[in-house]
Structure 1
Amino acid sequence: MMPELGKYAQAVLSSYGLSLLLLAGLVGISVIRSRRVARDLRAVEERVKRNG
């Protein structure tokens, strides 16, 4: 299933690995930011409910 990469195997596989790592990082940052924004939004909505 893996194509023969020859002398470029290290460069190609390290590029794939780095790309996957960066994508995972972006997903992680997005999830963390989403949770923070949702928490802040809930806090603002609670404040608005209490203050009318």
Structure 2
Amino acid sequence: MAIYFSFDLDGLASHSLYLDRLENTIGMRQVSRRIAEFREAISPRVPRAFPH
């Protein structure tokens, strides 16, 4: 059985905290590095178990 996910791209992008840092990137290596730099600069949330 297949599972399909859909989302509103504009809504998703509006919640991105690093979208502006990706604007002038060329290639996945630059994108990956910019995201890594963003993650190094913030304090991430504490992981918690997914309830199910």
Asked whether the two chains share a fold, i.e. TM above 0.5, the reply is no
Higher relative contact order (CA 8 A, sep 6+): 2
Normalised by the length of structure 2, the TM-score is 0.32
Normalised by the length of structure 1, the TM-score is 0.32
Larger radius of gyration: 1
| Greater share of helix | 1
